[in-house]
Amino acid sequence: MRKPIVVGNWKLNGSSAANEPLVLGVLDGMRELAGIDVGVCPPLVYLSQVAKLVEATDLGLGAQNCAEHDSGAFTGEVAAAMLHDVGARYVIVGHSERRALFGETDAVVSTKVGAALGAGLTPILCVGETLDEREAGETEAVVRRQLAAVIAGNGIEAFEQLVIAYEPVWAIGTGRTATPEQAQAVHAFIRGQLADHDTAVAQSVRIQYGGSMKPDNAAELLAQPDIDGGLIGGASLKAEDFLGICRAAAQTVG
C-alpha cells in the first residue's frame, strides 16, 4: 500500500503576510487527517518563514527548484543542500514550467534529481506531455524519454527515494483536468516502464497527478489504482481548497 502524498506548489505566489494564515489554516485542517503525507512548496525567499511555522508538525516543506551544482560561481542559484539546511524535505524537479520557460532539458533535470538526492531531499520529479504532443499520439514517448533520462543518470534505485508527478501540460492552470481514465493510463504506463527495470521499485514509487486538481475532482482521480496523490497549483493557495483535496486523499486510506 502506497501512502498518498499531496503537495502544494505555490509557484510565484505568496507574501510574508499571506503565507502565515495559509499555512496555519492547512495545519489546523490537518489535525483531522491521517494516513497521508502533505507538503507545501513556497517561493524560495519564504522557505525559512514557512519552516518556522511547520516546525515539529507533519506538514512537509519543499522548494520548487534547485541548482544542478553544489556550490560555486552560479549567481542566483540555490543548492539542494541549502534547501535542506533551512528545513526543506522535498524539491520539485523538472516542472513543465521550468522545462518550457527556463530551458531545462532532460539531462539538466536528471542532474538536479541527483543533486537533490545527494542533499538528502526527496525530489518530486515532474513529467508530462504538451497538448501538441498528446494530439500527435506522443504522450507515452515523451514520458518515456523524460523518465529514461533520470534512470540513465541516477539508476533505477533513485526511484526508491523520489516521488513522480505526472502533469499533462495542457491540464496545468487551464481548468481542463485529465479524465481519471486518461490520467490512470499514463500512471500505469509510467509504472510499467519502471517495472522493466525493477518490479519492486515500480510497485513502491508514488506517482502524483497534477493539473487542475480541485476538491470536486480529486476523489475520482485519487480512486484510480495508480494515482497516489496530487501536486496542486492554484487550489493550494486557499487552505480550504487544499484541505478538500487532502481529505479526498485521506479517504482513500480510511
Min separation Cβ 90 and ligand 13P, Å: 12
Choices 25-33, 76-84, 137-145, 232-240 (CB under 6 A): range interacting with ligand 13P:
232-240
CA distances from 140 to 145, 148, 168, 250 (A): 8, 12, 11, 30
Q: Of residues 173, 179, 192, 199, which one binds ligand 13P by CB under 6 A?
A: 173
Of these, 9, 65, 111, 122, which contacts ligand 13P (CB under 6 A)? 9
* Catalytic annotation, pick one of 68, 97, 104, 167: 167
Please select the residue that binds ligand 13P; options are 4, 121, 233, 242, rule is CB under 6 A.
233
- 123 touches ligand 13P (CB under 6 A): no
Count the neighbouring beta carbons within 10 Å of the beta carbon of residue 34.
10
CB 26 within 8 A of CB 53: no
Taking the alpha carbons at both ends of the chain, their separation in whole angstroms is 12
Adjacent-strand bridge partners of 164: 125, 207
Catalytic residue among 95, 97, 129, 187: 95
Considering only the stretches 29-37, 81-89, 155-163, 229-237, report the one whose residues sit in contact with ligand 13P under the rule CB under 6 A.
229-237
Which residues, 65 to 104, sit near ligand 13P by CB under 6 A? 95
Min separation Cβ 190 and ligand 13P, Å: 16
Catalytic site residue 187? Answer: no
Binds ligand 13P by CB under 6 A, chosen from 151, 213, 221, 239: 213
Q: Toward ligand 13P, which CB reaches closer, 172 or 250?
A: 172
Region from 101-109, 133-141, 149-157, 231-239 binding ligand 13P, contact rule CB under 6 A: 231-239
**Residue of 68, 106, 167, 241 interacting with ligand 13P (CB under 6 A):** 167
Q: CA dist 126 to 18, 99, 162, 164, 215, Å?
A: 27, 10, 11, 6, 21
* Smallest separation, CB 149 to ligand 13P (Å): 19
CA 199 to each of CA 47, 164, 207, 211, 220: distance values in angstroms, whole numbers, following the listed order:
36, 16, 15, 27, 26
Q: Quick one: DSSP state of residue 165?
A: E
The distance from CA 238 to its chain's CA centroid, rounded to whole angstroms, is 18
Asked about 167 being catalytic, the answer comes back as yes
90: amino acid identity, one letter: Y
For residue 250, CA distances in Å to 34, 36, 38, 58, 247 come to: 6, 6, 10, 14, 5
CB of 208 to ligand 13P, least distance (A): 9
Report, in Å, the least distance between residue 70 CB and ligand 13P. 25
Nearest C-alpha neighbor of 226 from the set 178, 190, 196, 200: 190
Question: Which CB, 60 or 234, lies closer to ligand 13P?
Answer: 234
Of 200, 199, 254, the residue nearest 223 (C-alpha): 254
Applying CB under 6 A, which residues contact ligand 13P?
Answer: 9, 95, 167, 172-173, 210-213, 231-235
Q: Mind telling me the catalytic residues?
A: 95, 167
